[in-house]
Amino acid sequence: MTKDATTPRERYRSQVRAEIVEQAWKQVATAGASALSLNAIAKQMGMSGPALYRYFASRDDLITELVREAYRSLADTLRAAAAAGADLAGLAHALRDWALADPQRYFLVYGTPVPNYHAPEDTTAVSAEIMTILVDACAALAPAGPPTPFDAHLADHRDWAGDHPAPPAALRRFLAFWTRLHGVLSLELAGHFTGMGFDPALLFAAELDDLLALPR
């Protein structure tokens, strides 16, 4: 019989941390991440402030946990879509569905940075996983073609892509994909299309069609 690797104390600690994170997401949804308060969460949970600080040493530690959770959720979503055979268009729609399901989670990682918060390096690593999945999909659509001036620029400024072997044309397609679709998503989720009389889903699809039609 395999012995359980965790002790009752460890399971209890994990359970309390999960409840703190749940309460933090509720706070983010109502007031935004910049207003996150550990003391308010402690009060909501019937704990003292010092007791809660035994689980998260600071507000930044708690925000980091939320950021990790959001990035991991999106990475898992895109990886599952890619494993199921999704191309760049399929990944784009998976991204939109994920964002619409929880706008505050989306805004935490792709919205206005939280003042005075600096994410640790391991959160950047998870973000890089997301980028790699999308760059892979862009590379699959990018056979050799006439280079552009920006391709030449990217050839000399590709540190942001790590050691990904994608050619500059694929990186250019990724950047166009990333900036244009996030622009549409951010405006939609922030409610800026409300009252304009068109379907944001159709705008998103039209932008995606334009991106897929870009010279390769």
pLDDT digits (tens, 9 = 90+) for 73-103: 999 999 999 999 999 999 999 999 999 999 9
- Do 156 and 118 have their domain in common? yes
Neighbours of 164 (CB within 10 A): 16
Q: What is the pLDDT of residues 141-157, one digit of tens each?
A: 866 567 788 988 988 88
Has this prediction a pTM greater than 0.75? yes
Q: Does the structure show a pLDDT above 70 at 56?
A: yes
Of 57, 76, 104, which one is at a domain's C-terminal end? 57
Share the mean pLDDT of the chain. 90
Q: Residue 5: which domain range? A: 1-57
Closest CA to 91 of 215, 174, 202: 174
* Tokens matching residue 115: 């003042």
Q: Which pLDDT does position 2 carry in this prediction?
A: 43
Give mean pLDDT, residues 119-134: 89
Q: Which pLDDT does position 174 carry in this prediction?
A: 92
- Judged by phi (left if over 0) then psi (alpha if -120 to 50, else beta), residue 46 lies in left
- Do 118 and 162 have their domain in common? yes
- Do 50 and 89 have their domain in common? no
Lowest mean per-residue pLDDT among 59-63, 165-169, 196-200: 165-169
Q: Is the dihedral of CA 81, 85, 86, 87 positive or negative?
A: positive
Lowest mean per-residue pLDDT among 66-70, 141-145, 205-209: 141-145
CA distances for 196 relative to 54, 97, 193, 206, angstroms: 48, 21, 5, 17
Residue 159 belongs to domain with CATH number: 1.10.357.10
Q: Which pLDDT does position 216 carry in this prediction?
A: 54
- Do 159 and 179 have their domain in common? yes
Which percentage of the chain shows pLDDT scores above 90?
60
- Do 32 and 69 have their domain in common? no
Give mean pLDDT, residues 33-46: 91
- Do 32 and 92 have their domain in common? no
Give mean pLDDT, residues 184-194: 95
Q: Does the structure show a pLDDT above 90 at 22?
A: yes
Q: Which pLDDT does position 55 carry in this prediction?
A: 93
- Do 71 and 163 have their domain in common? yes
Q: What is the pLDDT of residues 1-18, one digit of tens each?
A: 344 557 888 888 899 999
Residue 14 belongs to domain with CATH number: 1.10.10
